[in-house]
A and B are shown apart, each in its own frame.
Chain A
Amino acid sequence: AQRVTQPEKLLSVFKGAPVELKCNYSYSGSPELFWYVQYSRQRLQLLLRHISRESIKGFTADLNKGETSFHLKKPFAQEEDSAMYYCALSGRSSSNTGKLIFGQGTTLQVKP
């Protein structure tokens, strides 16, 4: 079964503290993994994807195929990072045309 699990509904940290948003996936094949973010009163937008291996707004995520995880990390949280974060996957197969499977989301709250 194709599934994305984000075990924490809410993660609350203080400004300057490290952040790790957890994401585990189940997929029989070679998926592409993404993190999407939704800031207050804004639309869902792509934060980063594993194939680009970029750091966006200080966030990084490494795909661990052994543990089937794609955790999102930032060494020093900022108040403007407060948002809803969704982990998502897209399968790499001829029958898959970019359908995204989302986790339930984690609300990150960064306190001053």
Chain B
Amino acid sequence: AQSVSQHNHHVILSEAASLELGCNYSYGGTVNLFWYVQYPGQHLQLLLKYFSGDPLVKGIKGFEAEFIKSKFSFNLRKPSVQWSDTAEYFCAVMVNAGNMLTFGGGTRLMVKP
């Protein structure tokens, strides 16, 4: 079965700092990759997704992620974070053969104003 690892459990940044959150998965076949965000008191929302094509994916709110197949990674990046980016971020993998999402453990980001 596939697994997803997010090595940073808590990240604290100042506004305007650059962000990179790591995500690695273990599955040798074709995968669909996702980043979800959960703002305090709100639902999970989809930030971006990768199915195929350009491995550099642009999402909402200035986020992007790069799929590196050889490294089994799908790291999330943002050049300049804002206080409003404070949230918990989840990486997820969906194996092509089914619709089940496997989530990583989540990374809690706090951006200090």
Q: Do A and B come from one complex?
A: no
